Amino acid sequence: MADFVRGNPDADYPADIASGIRLHRRVDKLTDSLEAVRQARRLFSQAHYRVAPIALDVLWDHFLSLHWEQVESQIPLTDFIHQARDNILPQLPSTPPSFQHINQYIWKDRWLERYAELPFIANTLHNMAIRRPKLGALSYCIQDIELNYAQLEETFMQFYPLMMQQAKSKNL
């Protein structure tokens, strides 16, 4: 939901949701500032470089879903998804309309599980490009991802567990 909220969330959301939005923003900022992630961006062609951070954000979701058991051994992915859905759905009426709209598909089409499938990632990037024509290059980022897949996967496996430790210990 944090990707759909602009400005200070404190005035519009309960404290726990506003805190989650701020945490999401800190994680995004930290991730984008990591040298390994900046290096990963350089793996994208010049034509796709501008949208590479967005493509990488989606790709990190791919690796998270694909390697869930390695990075989160406490709860199976399917259980996590059920908990997330059970927490989100009651709050949905008070969320941004664009988030409400996308929720129709997240659960029905099993996005969080299907992120593990690289063709689903290609579809996701393409659909994002269709919705926002200025991001048209996203449709073609899958080429850079496939070309550099192993290196991008290694980057994820290096930074993500450390970031999760920081988040759990409230050091973000």
pLDDT at 161: 84
Q: Which parts of 34-148 fold into alpha helices (H)?
A: 35-41, 52-66, 68-71, 77-88, 97-108, 111-114, 118-131, 141-147
Kindly report the average pLDDT of the chain as a whole number: 92
pLDDT score recorded for residue 23: 86
The answer to whether the CB of 13 falls within 8 A of the CB of 7 is: no
Name the residue type at position 147: L
pTM as predicted: 0.89
